[in-house]
Amino acid sequence: MNPAPRNVVSQPRQVVRAVLNEALESKLGGEVVVKSTTVSGRIFVVERKVAWTVLTGPGARSFSTALIDAKLVSREDVEQVMAECRKSGGNFCETLVAWGLVPRDTLRDLLCHHVTAQLETLFGLTEAQALFVPQPRSYSSQLTFDLAELTADTPQPAVPQSQSPSGPPVLLEGEAMANVKQALEEAMKIEGAFAVCLADANSGMTLGSVGGNAAFNVEAAAAGNTEVMRAKLKTMKALGIKDRIEDMLITLGEQYHIIRPLSAREGLFLYIALHRANANLAMARFRMADVEKNIQL
């Protein structure tokens, strides 16, 4: 059983840094989940180093977009690498290197700059809530960074003029994220629903969420339930069951929690929490199937 998440309260502009420092001091590692009125983020910590960051919100840009903008890879390259990672459980950056798409030193420099920029955005939030979710996890890459390396005045990696990014930053997931938000808002119309999100079982990150409150952090709940997904898939493999999970139901005294993997995108799952007194379980499962069909990624 994973240790319970811990809230850390601090002054504005210090909360994210304070929680990240706590995560970096933990032997377990885990994730720092950041929420503000405009930007959300996740910082993944492995062996007391920063391994990865993800931002969602206006102007946010994924690392794959940075690679495409720098003309180091094509969109088709990214899609093929991601498909391979979902299939094999491999690391995105290490796969790029292994396939000979990007030299390791170039990739490390660009990743360091990308993570540094995202941390600066998170550290600069004037009103933010941050939560450290301790979660031991193996990480199949040595492309990790000490905090000092990321908070120093790191120069932008040199990119040949022919590879200079053109145009404003774009969201690789722009249209997809709008579609996800619409689908999640539709899920919230299900009788009894009070929180819903779309999450990645491989990284534990939340790709979109609606609802929840201080008493129920849906992003932390989804991150914790990635272990439920993995355990079930591992058990099915051990038993030789060659089938897919349609959904999983967790029944509490006052709540229903439904986990529904996306059939069209392996590794992603919908997670919804409902008040048991108000919910019609059969109808909720039926409606969640419709929500899944409407998600296009």
The string of pLDDT tens digits covering residues 229-267 is: 888 888 888 898 888 889 999 999 999 999 999 887 777
Query: Can you give the pLDDT at residue 59?
Result: 65
Query: Can you give the pLDDT at residue 191?
Result: 94
Please list, in sequence order, all residues whose beta carbon lies within 8 angstroms of the beta carbon of residue 155, skipping any fewer than 6 positions away.
none
Q: Looking at residues 105-125, what average pLDDT do you find? A: 89
Query: Can you give the pLDDT at residue 280?
Result: 93
Q: Which of 131, 163, 195 is the last residue of a domain?
A: 163
Residue 273 lies inside a defined structural domain of this protein = yes
Residue 69 lies inside a defined structural domain of this protein = yes
| Residue 242 and residue 221 share a domain | yes
- Among 35, 33, 79, 34, residue whose Cα is nearest residue 204: 33
Highest mean pLDDT pick, 61-65, 72-76, 274-278: 274-278
Q: Which of 139, 163, 187 is the last residue of a domain?
A: 163
Residue 124 lies inside a defined structural domain of this protein = yes
Domain count, the chain: 2
| Mean pLDDT across the chain | 81
Indicate if the pLDDT at residue 28 is higher than 70.
yes
Query: Can you give the pLDDT at residue 138?
Result: 73
| Residue 156 and residue 201 share a domain | no
Domain that holds residue 91: 6-163
| Residue 180 and residue 149 share a domain | no
Domain containing 235 — which CATH number?
A: 3.30.450.30
| Residue 93 and residue 40 share a domain | yes
| Residue 155 and residue 16 share a domain | yes
| Residue 242 and residue 155 share a domain | no
Residue 288 lies inside a defined structural domain of this protein = yes
Q: Which of 113-117, 133-137, 240-244 has the lowest mean pLDDT?
A: 133-137
- Of the two residues 231 and 167, the one the predictor is more confident about is 231
Query: Can you give the pLDDT at residue 133?
Result: 85
Query: Can you give the pLDDT at residue 170?
Result: 26
Q: Which two tokens mark 83?
A: 């498909």
Phi–psi pair at 207, nearest 5 degrees: -90, -15
| Residue 177 near residue 208, CB atoms below 8 Å | yes
Q: Looking at residues 179-198, what average pLDDT do you find? A: 90
pTM above 0.75, yes or no: no
Residue 1 lies inside a defined structural domain of this protein = no
Burial letters for 59-92: b for 16+ Cβ neighbours within 10 Å, e otherwise? Answer: ebbbbbbbbbbbebbeeebbeebeeebbeeebbb
| Dihedral class, residue 165 (left if φ above 0, else alpha if ψ from -120 to 50, else beta) | beta
Residue 168 lies inside a defined structural domain of this protein = no
Tell me the residue ranges of DSSP E strands in 144-192: none
| Residue 52 and residue 195 share a domain | no
| DSSP character string of 220-250 | HHHHHHHHHHHHHHHHHHHTT-------EEE
Query: Can you give the pLDDT at residue 203?
Result: 65
Tracing tokens 């003029």 back to the chain, one arrives at 161
| Residue 136 and residue 61 share a domain | yes
Indicate if the pLDDT at residue 171 is higher than 60.
no
Residue 169 lies inside a defined structural domain of this protein = no
| Residue 66 and residue 24 share a domain | yes
Q: Which of 163, 188, 204 is the last residue of a domain?
A: 163
| Residue 154 and residue 10 share a domain | yes
| Residue 118 near residue 42, CB atoms below 8 Å | no
Q: What is the CA radius of gyration of the chain?
A: 19
Q: Which of 67-76, 142-151, 204-213 has the lowest mean pLDDT?
A: 204-213
- Sheet with 49-56, side-by-side order of all strands: 6-7, 128-134, 30-36, 40-46, 49-56
Separation between Cα atoms, residue 234 and residue 250, nearest integer Å = 18
**β-pair type (128-134, 193-200):** unpaired
Q: What percent of the chain has pLDDT over 90?
A: 29
| Residue 267 and residue 182 share a domain | yes
Query: Can you give the pLDDT at residue 196?
Result: 92
Residue 231 lies inside a defined structural domain of this protein = yes
Indicate if the pLDDT at residue 151 is higher than 60.
yes
Query: Can you give the pLDDT at residue 225?
Result: 83
How crowded is the C-beta side of 232, counted as CA atoms within 13 Å?
A: 17
pLDDT tier at 11, thresholds 50, 70, 90: very low
Query: Can you give the pLDDT at residue 176?
Result: 62
| Residue 126 and residue 20 share a domain | yes
